Chain A
């Protein structure tokens, strides 16, 4: 494979052309978020984590989405109250495919929607009284609930409710953690601040107020999976590999996770982070407070999986290192067969990626493993440190777009004509109508898992079925 992409394409000229459509003020602002990767560059050369421009159709979400939708929502044995009007919880109800095992409505609540359903009088007179009652009713109707989180929607922070006071009172009364999360949607510039706020709440309201479970016996091999939301079972397909090399996964954050797992996390020997963007905060905190080291890993595609397994094993003794080699060797024939089957069908195909937290970089080598090229990539809500980490995955000439607008993405795709667009549900049908194969890379298009060796086979199959479906050949009528 060559060391650069988009050779012979004037990508910079293309960016300038697309920017022409903006009014001047917005054009200047957007220009800072778009770049073509140069050789030897230190980072991707784009500004990030800045407010979206009004009226441009950003693809971003909000802090509530980052907290309730991403970090807290998957904790299955707690009930997460969408506190405020009915909509936020309704739209985020059961959409993200955070798989879990449990008796929904009895000891797990992941695919349910609980809301305080604010009415005008709650806005005018405040909603704290109602919140007290909501929590009492939840505890009565769902006696096996192990904890409750209050996920604030926009009005909460604007009307001056004291949800912390309610949380303290109710925690004491129920003898269960009740945690207030100030993730109002207007805070910050994207989902990202919601992740951070959610992390801080775990620090302040779980770590500070609870203890690891009595009788929990540590071993030298205790690790955690941090930042895996178990979409389509991703965390399970990762956990199985960690267990196979001899480690003990004492907690999953937060896909298929439980309150006890959060509480026991400070007992870990190492925190293993998959989605750095959404959970680096808590890992850094545990490093400072408890001296627990953390390490980023990447379980997309066999190259990265093998590298990550070796890096993880290197933190432990020789047995674990030997196990890692055995596990890599064990899966190799299956991986070889997958590549032998799918690579000839995918080799040289060009991909444009636009997603969230870690995937704009983490999935790159999985595509490379199949012989595919990444010609453009970008993040909805990255910070500068994400773009620094990206630069090492992508090649010279790659188009980088931060907080891309629907207009820009459509134009870039139209002009660059990749063979596959890998983005979200809001983008999917736009590009399919343009005749381009598409895969949703948030929900795995209802497939998955994509993590781990088991997931890689599914990833390869899915990219093939998207690109090589006959539908793309019948778009043009013969008359």
Chain B
């Protein structure tokens, strides 16, 4: 089996080209035919074709038990994300340690940033006797080594199944002087078998607020002119939170973002590693109870938190990942209403520029069909923006989506002529979406990196606009909210459309009459 050496020092070839060399192609063939005992090529082709049929779709949608490629993670990662948006805060995950390695890895792969969190490293003995000692030692170690200003405790499903009581454990640890008695240790129970990461986010926000604001209902809490805003679990938080702060600055509103990860997840490279950076100051978090109102940018990330805030006498307003012209208009009008200040002229100008850009490009968007998947709020915001552009959201899917969410999406679709082909799929996953894409085609998919497998199978171009984005870099540094954010989203969509046009018209002498220089 001698073959020439394809590798060379001059031009080193890696997996992209190495395995396409004849010696490797032959190796694959030998392995397959002699050792793998797989199914015949004909059988594979037959089944492959079958998975793309209406019949398969029906079987696929009849599933009751198995979940395949869902668009949801579990509660703790959402809680961890929420905790990491507060000043100097170290998340402490009570339960098995592998979970924390997974959460840190997942967030790191998206943000391309370090992600710090500790585990109480419970093992079999803790499963039998409970994890109290792990909490006592763990808090002491975390406090001594990592010098946080706050430790936010959450749980893995292991700790939840055995029923560890966080409140009691934390008190116990404080009695044992693991951390000073007045050191803030908010907590949230975050069972992985209830809801998803967005519920975990809600639980942690509520946990932190409960810690600083107290548990009792108090509708008479004195109020000031400040406004709070909770962004929700958002892969674009770095760009978006900064954009929100800029907008508030233009208004002259004293805005407190409750959980602001924008600096913590975007620290500079200048020779010094910052384990903590930015975040909502703890003092501001405490003071936030006196704000006149709290805005939630993602309804499904904050139901319990908003209820809690309401009980402190604040006005609350909720949005569903507002994007685009109308989405931003509504947010700004609410800010104007709450603050009593007019929408700044500069923002009006930005609006005009955005509308101008849409007008310039609408011909390429009008009537284009889209599949949209992701978290419930993102799906709503994205679909509304698409309809505003004259595009048609067709399949709107969220594994975390409920019946209530489906109705909400349907209402949005009904409000626009561009929503007539749309349908919401709550509780469904990306394997369901694969069937939908084969049986009821669309022009583009909007989702995250996991959608690349759908793109590969269906050849429908994917636009990555929601968490997690592992295989493209730095988009999270640009906002998707506000008029500026909408412009970014518009350009991302248009770029993909134009790239797709070029890729489909570039065969010389065959299709390249449409390979237009000007589009």
Contacts and interface: CB of A to CB of B under 8 A. Distances in A.
Q: Do the two chains bind?
A: yes
B283 interface: no
B54 interface: no
A435 B271 CA distance: 5
A460 B122 CA distance: 40
A53 B121 contact: yes
Interface of A: 21-23, 25-26, 51-65, 77, 81, 84-88, 90-95, 99, 101-107, 111-120, 122-123, 130-131, 133-134, 137-138, 140-141, 143-144, 146, 153-155, 157-159, 185-189, 191, 213, 232-233, 236-237, 239-240, 243-244, 246, 248-252, 256, 258, 260-261, 264, 330-331, 333-334, 337-338, 340-342, 405-407, 410, 425-426, 428-435, 447-449, 453-454, 457-458, 460-461, 471, 475-477
Interface string B26-40: 011011101111110
Given A86-B73, A155-B193, A187-B123, A55 B96 contact: no
A213 B35 CA distance: 10
Given A54-B121, A429-B108, A457-B9, A21 B15 contact: no
Interface in B39-61: 39, 43-44, 47-48, 51, 56, 59-60
Interface residues of B, number: 113
Select the residue from B3, B99, B116 with max chain A CB neighbours within 10 A.
B99
A141 B102 contact: no
Given A91-B103, A426-B101, A433-B269, A233 B119 contact: no
Given A112-B453, A426-B104, 6 more contacts: A55-B92, A58-B121, A146-B38, A155-B193, A213-B37, A256-B31
Nearest to A77: B38
B255 to A, nearest CB: 29
Given A23-B144, A155-B193, A338-B9, A95 B109 contact: yes
Given A86-B72, A433-B272, A55 B137 contact: yes
Contacts of A189: 123
Given A86-B196, A133-B64, A141 B123 contact: no
Contact of B67 (A117, A243, A475, A476): A117
A42 B1 CA distance: 42
Interface string B309-349: 00000000000000000000000000000000000000000
Contact of A425 (B74, B96, B105, B267): B105
Contacts of B158: 154-155, 158, 185-186
Contacts of A244: 1-3
26 contacts: A55-B141, A55-B143, A55-B145, A60-B101, A85-B193, A87-B74, A88-B74, A90-B73, A91-B105, A92-B102, A107-B44, A115-B67, A118-B193, A134-B65, A186-B127, A188-B124, A240-B23, A244-B1, A249-B35, A260-B36, A337-B8, A426-B108, A426-B115, A433-B273, A449-B15, A475-B269
A334 B28 contact: no
B439 interface: no
Contacts of A52: 97, 119, 121
Nearest to A214: B37
B122 to A, nearest CB: 6
Contacts of A120: 191, 193-194
B273 A410 contact: yes
Contact of A55 (B103, B138, B434): B138
Given A86-B192, A189-B123, A476-B271, A58 B97 contact: yes
B404 interface: no
Contacts of B101: 59-62, 65, 426
B157 to A, nearest CB: 5
A391 to B, nearest CB: 28
Contacts of B24: 236, 240
A223 to B, nearest CB: 12
A217 B19 CA distance: 28
Contact of A258 (B7, B36, B74, B192): B36
Interface string B130-160: 0000110111111111100000000011100
Contacts of A448: 14-15
B215 interface: no
A458 B14 contact: yes
B8 A103 contact: no
Contacts of A252: 31
Contacts of B138: 53-55
B273 A54 contact: no
Interface in B66-98: 66-70, 72-74, 76-77, 92, 95-98
A113 B98 contact: no
B284 interface: no
Contacts of B146: 57, 407
- Nearest first, the 3 A-B pairs at minimum CB distance are A62-B98, A87-B74, A54-B138
A107 B38 contact: yes
A386 B268 CA distance: 38
B8 A51 contact: no
B5 A334 contact: yes
A425 B37 CA distance: 36
Contacts of B97: 52, 58, 60-62, 185
Given A112-B69, A123-B193, A457 B27 contact: no
B112 to A, nearest CB: 6
Contact of B116 (A58, A138, A406): A406
Given A103-B48, A425-B105, A111 B38 contact: no
Given A334-B8, A454-B7, A185 B69 contact: no
A343 to B, nearest CB: 11
A308 to B, nearest CB: 18
A233 B270 contact: no
Contacts of B114: 426, 429-430, 433
Interface string B490-502: 0000000000000
Contacts of B143: 55
Contacts of B27: 236, 239-240, 243
B39 A144 contact: yes
A471 B268 CA distance: 13
Contacts of A460: 12
B113 interface: yes
B76 to A, nearest CB: 7
A93 B120 contact: no
Contact of A158 (B63, B139, B161, B267): B161
A258 B109 CA distance: 29
Given A60-B101, A86-B72, A105-B434, A243 B37 contact: no
Contacts of B99: 62, 87-88, 185
Contact of A153 (B5, B92, B157): B157
Contacts of B144: 21-23, 26
Select the residue from A95, A116, A137, A252 with max chain B CB neighbours within 10 A.
A137
Contacts of B3: 244
Contact of A56 (B36, B145, B156, B267): B145
A115 B119 contact: no
Nearest to B30: A243
A116 B65 contact: yes
Given A22-B145, A87-B74, A430-B114, A61 B137 contact: no
Contact of B47 (A88, A107, A477): A107
B189 to A, nearest CB: 12
B14 A86 contact: no
Nearest to B69: A113
A356 to B, nearest CB: 11
Contacts of A233: 15, 18-19
